[in-house]
Chain A
Amino acid sequence: MTKAQPPANFEAGLGRWLVLALPYAWLVLFFLAPFALILKVSLSEPELSQPPYAPVFDSWDASVIVDKLRSLSLGAYARLIEDALYLRSYLESAAMAGAATFATLLIGYPLALAIARSPARWRLLLLTLAIAPLWTSSLVRVYAWILILKDEGVLNHALIALGLVTEPLHIFATNWAVLIGIVYAYLPFMALPLYAAIENQDRQLAEAAADLGAGAGGIFWRITLPLSLPGVYAGALMVFIPAVGEFVIPDLLGGSDTLMIGTTLWNDFFVNRDWPAAAAAAVALLALLLGPLLFYERMQMQAGANRR
């Protein structure tokens, strides 16, 4: 994955600024502004009113700004630390997302490798099949998993019919169901960057390795895998980051013991109506996710530097 380098003769003119401004305008409008709102709410105190939080920074009158600044509260963040529920939610979300990332990698790598190594005329079809689930609503697909996984569901019927188990397996409404759902839902996001990273490789490198005495295993571990690491990092991020904050899947497939930050947030917003705490949890989540993002950015920079 190379970073796009503008050609040397690219004019630093109006056109260039427009091209750059458009995505930035998009980000400011749909990411930065909502984030500022959330940040604002997180610095407030909960109230039993509509909206259910004390107003801060609603007026830009200079004389009252100092007053308003004083009304800012870090109470929500204090509750975040005091209440063990949040810490547990973060840890369990990270563990779940980590397990899901690992599982998608284990399933996605052979899948991507098989597609990349298949005859060229099959590749597009296989790739399309791999991402076809994304064409239907994720909600529908999660409901389908309920039908598959529940005690009297398709899976248990099949297992009992085959005589593999006598009692139905309790998968639905457990963390296993959540893991299966997340792995299923995010597999394409792992497989696609992996496919790109593998397909991009010069096949002659594998031939050169074979020529120098490497068997299939040697070629994989010493050539194919190391060269596909950028795809592994990209895929891991694309699975891990949204999986940490996943709400629908744990809510529908998980049980009472499933604790993920997405469901905790939802409960805070809509059940407890503690918007400041929920907003603070969201801000903290974003801050925590900056870690892996910065790591990825550094890997990219290193790869870029090596290429130069």
Chain B
Amino acid sequence: MSSTHDSSAPFVQLEGVTKRHGGVAAVDALSLTLRRGEFFALLGPSGCGKTSLLRLIAGFETPDEGRIFIDGEDVTGTPPHRRPVNMMFQTYALFPHMNVARNIGFGLVQEGIARAEIARRVTEMLRLVQLEGLGERRPDQLSGGQKQRVALARALVKRPKLLLLDEPLAALDRRLREETQFELMHLQERLGATFLVVTHDQREAMVMASRIGVMRAGRIEQIGAPAEIYERPISSYVAQFIGEINLIEGVVKGQSAEGPLAEARSGLLGVSIAAGLIDVACAVAHAPGSRVAIAVRPERIRVAPLDRAQEFPNVLTGEIEESAYLGDMTLYRVRLAGGLVLRAAHQNARPGAHSFESGDRVAASFAPDAGIVLPA
């Protein structure tokens, strides 16, 4: 991130923004602050209101309630063509009757900039997105990846303070998508602009963004750095949306201030689940008898032969229901006593590491600090 700006100063501020579509709140009393120069990702399933939020910031829609500030200026009622914001559309929305150069130069012509200067800046943008020499092409003569770059160049040519990207990579195939993720990051670092990207792809958000806001039904459920959201989700919704996770429901038995793990600063929560009793690290007080959900990532679940069960904490015995060898890892589905199925991912760090087949009786276990206690 750029060090020339105070990166903690609020750059984009949404205060209690609500937008209803036919009585349903697409964006519901949402407040959000973006810092100058950050790469922020709004993550959520389709219909969660993330695109509506983007359109509110771009000015295509006006909020029913609340205010929007960009760089200290109230833009709530400002029409889109007067906002210091540019947007890259999911469908790219390239002008079909203009060639690439005129598409990119559109925003500059609109500003009344001299033709020679426009030509210079268009060439500069073509170089930036590696499309030199394609200025004369028509949009329909371009590949999907090239169109995506033209759309990006067109949105960047006016040097916007804030670039909005609506599912910028959704139309690309997987390999191109992964390459482009890194390119977007580098571009954002180079330009020092603030990027707000909307995506339903949690991997994409985690790769690119410095902060992620997980949206649910018009609200932001959790905001944090990718690692924070992944490792400390605040709800089962966030936990399930970001990566794979096992949710184990149970009832609190008791809580100890001092656990057997000396390094764990938090106390241990004893939770009774259908398959037995487990200990989970937890700093928050929970009354005995309250219902909780324990979230455990598949990669934190160890699968071992039954005869080694006593070596590990939180052992749950079960039977391998399915196993899938993926090369770098093997995925197991372990059916526990009580019917719950745990997903476990084993890294195949060494060739010929222990593998199990369906029907094998195994001990599934996880360390107390691998479990996240969530409200049930």
Contact = CB atoms under 8 A, between A and B. Distances in A.
Contact of B140 (A210, A212, A307): A307
Given A202-B93, A223-B95, A213 B138 contact: no
A110 interface: no
Interface string B32-68: 0000000000000000000000000011100000000
A204 B91 contact: yes
B81 interface: yes
A238 to B, nearest CB: 22
- Among B89, B107, B110, the most chain A Cβ lie within 10 Å of the Cβ of B110
Contact of A202 (B79, B81, B91, B106): B91
Contacts of B138: 306
Nearest to B110: A213
A292 interface: no
B85 interface: yes
Most buried by B among A205, A212, A214, A223: A212
Interface in A267-308: 306-308
Given A213-B107, A226-B97, A227-B96, A208 B81 contact: no
Q: Is chain A's binding surface mostly helix, strand, loop or mixed?
A: helix
A172 B6 CA distance: 76
Contacts of A211: 58-60, 80-81, 85-87, 155
A218 interface: yes
A207 interface: yes
Given A212-B110, A214-B110, A227-B97, A207 B158 contact: no
B111 interface: yes
A61 B94 CA distance: 66
Nearest to A307: B140
Contacts of B89: 204, 207-208
B93 A212 contact: no
B294 to A, nearest CB: 45
A205 B95 contact: yes
A207 B93 contact: yes
Contact of A210 (B80, B91, B97, B155): B80
A214 B87 CA distance: 14
A303 to B, nearest CB: 9
Nearest to B138: A306
A306 to B, nearest CB: 6
B130 to A, nearest CB: 22
Contacts of A208: 87, 89, 93-95, 154
Q: How many residues of B sit at the interface, in one of the four size bands?
A: 20 to 34
Interface in B69-112: 79-81, 85-87, 89, 91, 93-97, 106-107, 110-111
A208 B90 CA distance: 11
Nearest to B166: A204
A223 B80 CA distance: 16
B107 to A, nearest CB: 4
Interface in A216-231: 218, 222-223, 226-227
Contacts of B111: 213
Contacts of A226: 97
A215 B95 CA distance: 16
A305 to B, nearest CB: 10
Interface string B173-199: 000000000000000000000000000
Contacts of B58: 207, 211
Interface residues of A, number: 20
Contact of A218 (B95, B110, B154, B155): B110
B106 A210 contact: no
Nearest to A204: B93
A205 B92 CA distance: 9
A169 interface: no
A222 B105 CA distance: 13
Contacts of B93: 202, 204-205, 207-208
Contacts of A56: none
Contacts of A306: 97, 138, 140
A231 B95 CA distance: 17
Nearest to A212: B107
A223 B107 CA distance: 13
A211 B96 CA distance: 17
Contacts of A307: 96, 140
A209 interface: yes
A207 B60 contact: yes
Nearest to B91: A204
Interface string A189-214: 00000000000001011011111111
Contacts of A218: 81, 110
Nearest to B109: A222
A208 B86 CA distance: 9
Interface in B125-178: 138, 140, 154-155, 158
Contacts of A207: 58, 60, 80, 89, 93
Contacts of B140: 306-308
Contacts of B154: 208, 212
Nearest to A205: B93
Interface string B1-41: 00000000000000000000000000000000000000000
Contacts of B91: 202, 204
B367 to A, nearest CB: 50
Contacts of A204: 89, 91, 93
Contacts of B106: 209, 212, 214, 222
Given A207-B60, A208-B87, 18 more contacts: A202-B91, A204-B89, A204-B91, A204-B93, A207-B89, A208-B93, A210-B81, A211-B81, A211-B87, A212-B107, A212-B155, A213-B111, A213-B158, A214-B106, A218-B110, A222-B106, A307-B96, A307-B140
Closest 7 CB pairs of A and B: A212-B107, A213-B110, A208-B93, A204-B93, A210-B80, A213-B81, A211-B87
29 contacts: A202-B93, A205-B93, A207-B58, A207-B80, A207-B89, A207-B93, A208-B87, A208-B94, A210-B60, A210-B79, A210-B81, A211-B59, A211-B80, A211-B87, A212-B106, A212-B107, A212-B110, A212-B155, A214-B81, A214-B106, A215-B79, A218-B110, A226-B97, A227-B96, A306-B97, A306-B138, A306-B140, A307-B96, A307-B140
Interface of A: 202, 204-205, 207-215, 218, 222-223, 226-227, 306-308
